[in-house]
């Protein structure tokens, strides 16, 4: 970077400093195209921004950032706490080049005891916590929440079905037969007894597990004394289920009720942040994160940035244990407390069992980082091989792979998966329901045209190319015909500079004999034992797995859809009455008008509406 360019950046910052207040706020440094280079917070904007105007004393990262700065924007806030929350929000939104970035923004699964229905429901929940009820989590993975949910169903026998399914039941389902539900839908349990189960579950989810188990032990003993061995055995099985749920994963001191344990380690310019989740005294698992950052940034800088972004839109526990002391810990705690409405304490334990928690998390972080570095090195070699195979200017940082799925033209789905230096980027996967009604069922070319028009039409409208999810390589499941179709779409959108590769399956769909097609080049094959070919096969297979999985889910939903759902005025009670009377929706559809009028709760007018719905061609 030339001295002239450095002066331009410093001179701009120096001019801005003169107009800034000595107040808290957030500043953004932008390049000549308006892309965000850096977002920072300040207790005193004038002093903080003024530090960038010094002619020396900056490391290489800061010097390069200053030199690239062509614009600055400022937002004044009432307090430093407000500035911290706004900074985290803007970093996640703008993803500036020089900030520490948390790359995994996937939400965590919870178990929800929903009590907005007369008969509360226990089920897995992911996303915004809008529904009323008791939430148990977060869990580190879908597998962990599924195992726990299955056990909780055995322990408390609460329904997991949706409200619409509950309303339409005429006899107990299989879950009742295998003793995973008490079947309140058909009155197999009284309202009072079901409410008692709900309260036990609520106590357990709130951390009062000992109270629940003591009550079950007393019930088992009383039943045993009365020689009612069936009731005693049921209580015993529920106690066993609760014991299974409460088994800890790793270190879990008894006096920690609600906390996250966060440990950062750094080696070779890369870092890992390990997070353990403890709720209601239970260890709910852990997850590793690998933030993007400059190799010269310290562990404390990485940890501070991670906490701000990680909890920006997530529920915050009452305690956060960290393995590095942070000067901003009290400020972060104050910001989280104001957002959550309860006191949040962030601290580094110095003695006792809580130190063991931190040591355990730190060890997990070191091991995860070692695996990540090893996998990253292999991935870099593979991406370099991909670049060489397809004559790319540099190893691709984002590969998008497309595949379509349908069954004889029905439930048509387009799927897109994404891969990069860190492997598969599952939070970037997208599915496309084929919406064009003029598309001939099963026309793969038309499906591909619609998918590419929608995906890259949106991308072409992005004003900020730096922050947009811009691919370096696009792989299409198909040969010369599919490649020609998508090439026309990209030319129309002005995106012809994105490399496109068609991957045609070998004869008899034989893996290892794939043929590759590129625009303006002769098609070719790779050596059957090439690691690059094997990598591309894995990407293609993952795209196929994703597309067919979405197709099956859509088909299953279609099959499960009740024909009565499309009739205006047919709610849960009328649907249940019809199903009780006729036995199935198919029988309702084939019934005569006079038979429909005999159903309790179905008026003559409603019967006519139902009859017309299923016989519209004859009316």
287 in Cβ contact with 275 (< 8 Å):
yes
Lowest-pLDDT range of 246-260, 347-361, 490-504:
246-260
Per residue in 120-133, pLDDT (tens digit) is 998 898 887 888 88
d(CA 306, CA 291): 8
How crowded is residue 122: how many other Cβ atoms within 10 Å of its Cβ? 24
Cα 577-582-585 angle, rounded to 5 deg? 85
In this structure, of 37-51, 434-448, 459-473, the range with the lowest mean pLDDT score is: 459-473
Q: Which residues of 98-117 are buried (b: 16+ CB within 10 A; e: fewer)?
A: bbbbbeeeeebbbbbbbeee
Residues 317 and 258 sit within 8 Å (Cβ to Cβ): yes
The pLDDT, as a whole number, for residue 4 is 47
Q: Please check whether residue 401 is in contact with residue 536, taking contact to mean a CB–CB distance below 8 angstroms.
A: no
Burial of 309 (0-12, 13-18, 19+ CB in 10 A): buried
pLDDT at 597: 87
Closest-CA residue to 344 (of 325, 316, 309): 316
Sheet holding 345-347, edge to edge: 282-289, 270-279, 259-267, 319-322, 345-347
For domain 259-371, which architecture applies?
A: 2-Layer Sandwich (3.30)
In terms of DSSP H, where are the helices of 172-270? 174-177, 191-205, 209-225, 229-245
DSSP state of 151: H
Domain(s) labelled CATH 3.40.1440.10 in the chain stretch across 3-94
pLDDT band at residue 349 under the 50/70/90 scheme: very high
For residues 409 and 96, which has the higher predicted lDDT (pLDDT)?
96
Q: Just give the CATH number of 563-614.
A: 1.10.150.20
Taking the complete model, does pTM exceed 0.75, yes or no? no
Indicate the SS3 state at residue 347.
Answer: strand
Give the model's pLDDT for residue 442: 67
For residue 358, pLDDT over 60 is answered with yes
pLDDT for 618 equals 39
Does residue 2 surpass a pLDDT of 60?
Answer: no
| DSSP-derived 3-state class of residue 272 | strand
What's the CATH code, domain 399-551?
A: 3.30.420.340
| Residue 279 pLDDT grade (very low, low, confident, very high; cuts 50, 70, 90) | confident
Q: How confident is the model at residue 145 (pLDDT cuts 50, 70, 90)?
A: confident
- Start and end residues for every CATH 1.10.150.20 domain found in the chain: 563-614
Whether the pLDDT of residue 464 is over 70: the answer is no
Higher pLDDT pick, 468 / 392: 392
Residue 74, pLDDT > 50, answer: yes
550-575 per-residue burial string, b: 16 or more CB within 10 A, e: under 16:
bbeebbeeeeeebebeebeebeeebb
Read off the pLDDT of residues 505-523 as tens digits, 9 standing for 90 and up: 865 555 667 899 998 899 8
pLDDT at 550 over 90: no
For residue 402, the model assigns a pLDDT of: 92
Q: What is the pLDDT of residue 619?
A: 31
* Cα 74 from Cα 69, distance rounded (Å): 14
> CA 521, CA 531: separation in Å to the nearest integer?
22
List strand residue ranges (DSSP E) for 268-409, in order: 270-279, 282-289, 319-322, 345-347, 399-407
DSSP conformation class of 107: P
Q: Cα 545 from chain centroid?
A: 18
Where would I find the beta strands (DSSP E) of 393-472? 399-407, 410-420, 423-424, 430-433
Condensed to tens digits (0 to 9), the pLDDT of residues 400-437 reads: 999 888 665 566 788 899 998 888 888 889 888 877 76
Mean predicted lDDT score pLDDT of the chain: 83
* pLDDT tens column, 282-301: 788 889 999 988 888 899 99
27-36, 196-205, 245-254: least confident range? 245-254
pLDDT, mean of residues 171-191: 89
- CB contact set of 574 (below 8 Å; sequence gap of 6+): 601, 602, 606
CATH superfamily of 3-94: GIY-YIG endonuclease (3.40.1440.10)
| Ranges 31-45, 80-94, 135-149, 454-468: which has the least confidence | 454-468
What DSSP element (H or E) covers 263? strand 259-267
The pLDDT score that the predictor gives to residue 483 is 92
CB-facing half-sphere around the CA of 262: CA atoms within 13 A: 31
pLDDT tens per residue across span 24-57: 999 999 988 888 999 999 999 999 999 998 888 8
pLDDT tier at 395, thresholds 50, 70, 90: very high
Contact 84, 308 (CB under 8 A): yes
């Amino acid at each position: 970077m030339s001295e002239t360019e450095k002066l331009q950046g410093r001179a701009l910052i120096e001019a801005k400093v003169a107009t800034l207040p000595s107040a808290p706020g957030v500043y953004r440094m932008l390049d000549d195209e308006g892309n965000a280079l850096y977002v920072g917070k300040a207790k005193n904007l004038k002093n903080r921004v003024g530090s960038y105007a010094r002619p020396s004393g900056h490391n290489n990262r800061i010097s390069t950032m200053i030199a690239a700065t062509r614009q600055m924007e400022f937002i004044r806030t009432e307090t430093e706490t407000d500035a911290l929350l706004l900074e985290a929000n803007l970093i996640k939104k703008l993803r500036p080049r020089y900030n520490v970035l948390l790359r995994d923004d996937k939400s965590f699964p919870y178990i929800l005891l929903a009590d907005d229905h007369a008969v509360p429901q226990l089920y897995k929940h992911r996303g915004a916590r809008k529904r009323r009820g008791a939430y148990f989590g977060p869990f580190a993975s879908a597998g962990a929440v599924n195992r726990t949910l299955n056990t909780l169903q055995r322990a408390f026998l609460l329904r997991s079905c949706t409200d619409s399914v509950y309303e339409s039941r005429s006899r107990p389902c299989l879950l009742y037969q295998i003793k995973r539900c008490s079947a309140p839908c058909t009155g197999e349990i009284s309202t009072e007894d079901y409410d008692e189960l709900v309260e036990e579950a609520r106590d357990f989810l709130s951390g009062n597990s000992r109270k629940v188990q003591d009550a079950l032990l007393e019930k088992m003993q009383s039943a045993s004394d009365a020689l009612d061995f069936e009731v005693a055995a049921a209580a015993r099985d529920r106690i066993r289920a609760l014991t299974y749920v409460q088994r800890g994963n790793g270190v879990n001191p008894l006096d920690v009720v609600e906390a996250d344990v966060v440990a950062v380690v750094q080696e070779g310019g890369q870092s890992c942040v390990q997070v353990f989740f403890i709720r209601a005294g239970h260890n709910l698992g852990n997850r590793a994160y690998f933030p993007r950052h400059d190799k010269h940034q310290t562990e404390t800088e990485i940890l501070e940035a991670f906490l701000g972004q990680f909890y920006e839109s997530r529920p915050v526990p009452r305690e956060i244990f960290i393995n590095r002391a942070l000067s901003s810990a009290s400020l972060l705690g104050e910001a989280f407390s104001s957002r959550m409405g309860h006191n949040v304490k962030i601290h580094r334990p110095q003695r006792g069992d809580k130190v063991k928690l931190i040591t355990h998390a730190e060890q997990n972080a070191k091991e995860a980082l070692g695996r990540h570095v090893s996998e990253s090195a292999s991935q870099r070699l593979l991406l370099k091989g991909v670049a060489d195979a397809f004559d790319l200017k540099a190893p691709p940082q984002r590969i998008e792979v497309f595949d379509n799925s349908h069954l004889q033209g029905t439930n048509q789905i387009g799927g897109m998966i994404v891969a990069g230096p860190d492997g598969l980027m599952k939070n970037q996967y997208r599915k496309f329901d084929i919406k064009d009604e003029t598309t001939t069922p099963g026309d793969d070319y038309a499906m591909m045209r619609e998918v590419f028009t929608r995906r890259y039409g949106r991308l072409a409208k992005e004003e900020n190319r730096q922050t947009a999810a811009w691919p370096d390589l696009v792989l299409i499941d198909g040969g010369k015909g599919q490649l020609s179709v998508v090439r026309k779409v990209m030319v129309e959108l002005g995106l012809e500079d994105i490399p496109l590769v068609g991957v045609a399956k070998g004869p008899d769909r034989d893996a290892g004999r794939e043929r590759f097609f590129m625009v303006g080049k002769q098609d070719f094959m790779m050596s059957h034992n090439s690691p690059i070919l094997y990598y591309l096969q894995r990407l293609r297979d993952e795209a196929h797995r994703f597309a067919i999985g979405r197709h099956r889910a859509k088909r299953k939903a279609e099959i499960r859809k009740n024909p009565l759902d499309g009739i205006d005025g047919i709610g849960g009670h009328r649907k249940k009455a019809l199903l009780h009377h006729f036995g199935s929706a198919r029988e309702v559809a084939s019934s005569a008008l006079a038979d429909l009028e005999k159903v309790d709760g179905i008026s003559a007018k409603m019967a006519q509406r139902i009859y017309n719905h299923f016989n519209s061609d004859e009316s």
